[in-house]
Amino acid sequence: MKPPLDVVTGAYGYSGRYLAQRLLETGRTVRTLTANPSRPDLFRGRVDAHPFSFDEPARLVETLRGADTLYNTYWVRFPYRGVGFEHAVENTRILFAAAREAGVRRIVHVSVTNAEESSPLPYFHWKAVLERELRESGMSFAIVRPTVVFGREDILVNNIAWILRRLPLFVVPGDGRYRLQPVAVEDLAALCVEVGLRQEDVALDAAGPETYTFDELVTLLRDAVGSRARIVHAPSRLAHGLGSLIGRAVRDVLVTRDELEGLAAGLLVSHGPPTAETSFRAWVSEHGGDLGRTYASELGRHYRR
């Protein structure tokens, strides 16, 4: 019998690639939807790639037909070049509708911790809107809400390390006492697959076993990469201004003001028990030699091809 087919968005991206790998290891067949199907094939022919084609819903339906579960990671990190969160929400609605029409059994949707419709931060607001719409859609669903995801291809942790390696100062926005609870990308993928195989509707956070203040996290990274940078504090506006200068120098958006606000509000921690096992400290000590050697560019990944 042919193994069941799942569709993963972004299998050449960050979390989607670990999801696809995990599904293949579980014996499933995997198809991916991606913004860029012509990227080098990481899976040596084992994953067939199709464009998102949000503007051709009928084509999207055909790509999803026959799939058991849709694993959705699609999102934009920040508004850029006229593509904002509303646009990503609209595309996600098209994707969910296509999955329903194609007869997909279940949707596993990757959201974010502490998504609330009342949030003043558009990222968290719109994520909550989509969560609600999926819950109300009548489809079988699992919502997985990661904190901050660490792994070899990650951007945030890598770029903190990159700054620590290159500059004599690291400027922490605000008091640095706000907390984060990093989750390993492999654990996120395993959790998604675990809930994808279940029948009942479920929503849960993907959160690692350790919580750090931002100061502790930066200090841990500084020690791991052998940096002697001084860690100083500055008002969030100033830190954001400096981040924008660095972003301009590397032709990227290093961090947005909303992201700093989300961090400072402690939105990247879970209020439930940890759901993942990998220790961030152990991972950093194992990978410190590689972390931050090169800059990881969001615009390079998604806008310059």
Ligand X SMILES: NC(=O)c1ccc[n+]([C@@H]2O[C@H](COP(=O)([O-])OP(=O)(O)OC[C@H]3O[C@@H](n4cnc5c(N)ncnc54)[C@H](OP(=O)(O)O)[C@@H]3O)[C@@H](O)[C@H]2O)c1
Sign of CA dihedral 290, 294, 295, 301: negative
Binding mask 99-118 for ligand X (x = CB under 6 A): -----------x-x------
Residue located via tokens 């990222």: 123
Q: Are 246 and 266 contacting, i.e. CB atoms less than 8 angstroms apart?
A: no
Phi, psi of 155 (to 5 degrees): -100, -55
∠ CA 220-226-227, rounded to 5°? 85
Token digits of residue 99 = 């999955």
How far is it, in rounded angstroms, from Cα 41 to Cα 55?
24
Nearer to ligand X, 14 or 295 (CB): 14
Binding to ligand X in span 115-144, by CB under 6 A: none
Q: For residues 187, 193, 199 and 204, what is the CA-based torsion angle, rounded to 10 degrees?
A: 30
Q: Are 189 and 18 contacting, i.e. CB atoms less than 8 angstroms apart?
A: yes
Of 71-79, 133-141, 208-216, 230-238: span binding ligand X (CB under 6 A): 71-79
Q: Shortest distance, CB of residue 240 to ligand X, whole angstroms?
A: 19
Does residue 49 interact with ligand X by CB under 6 A?
no
Q: How far is CA 297 from the centre of its chain?
A: 14
Q: Shortest distance, CB of residue 151 to ligand X, whole angstroms?
A: 9
Q: Which of 5, 7, 10, 28 binds ligand X (CB under 6 A)?
A: 10
Binding to ligand X in span 229-268, by CB under 6 A: none
Token digits of residue 85 = 């969160």
Binding to ligand X in span 16-45, by CB under 6 A: 16, 34-36
Q: For the CA atoms of the chain, what is the radius of gyration?
A: 19
Does residue 7 interact with ligand X by CB under 6 A?
no
Nearer to ligand X, 233 or 302 (CB): 302
Q: Which of 29, 63, 73, 159 binds ligand X (CB under 6 A)?
A: 73
How far is it, in rounded angstroms, from Cα 228 to Cα 231?
9
Nearer to ligand X, 16 or 208 (CB): 16
Nearer to ligand X, 53 or 233 (CB): 53
Nearer to ligand X, 213 or 226 (CB): 213
How many chain residues interact with ligand X (CB under 6 A)?
20
Q: Shortest distance, CB of residue 93 to ligand X, whole angstroms?
A: 15
Nearer to ligand X, 149 or 242 (CB): 149
Q: Which of 50, 165, 179, 302 binds ligand X (CB under 6 A)?
A: 302
Does residue 9 interact with ligand X by CB under 6 A?
yes
Of 74-82, 128-136, 226-234, 259-267: span binding ligand X (CB under 6 A): 74-82
Q: Are 164 and 221 contacting, i.e. CB atoms less than 8 angstroms apart?
A: yes
> What's the per-residue H, E or C state across 149-190?
EECCCCCHHHHHHHHHHHCCEEEEECCCCCEECCEEHHHHHH
Binding to ligand X in span 154-213, by CB under 6 A: none
How far is it, in rounded angstroms, from Cα 160 to Cα 180?
14
Q: Give residues in contact with ligand X (CB under 6 A).
A: 9-10, 12-16, 34-36, 73-76, 110, 112, 146, 148-149, 302
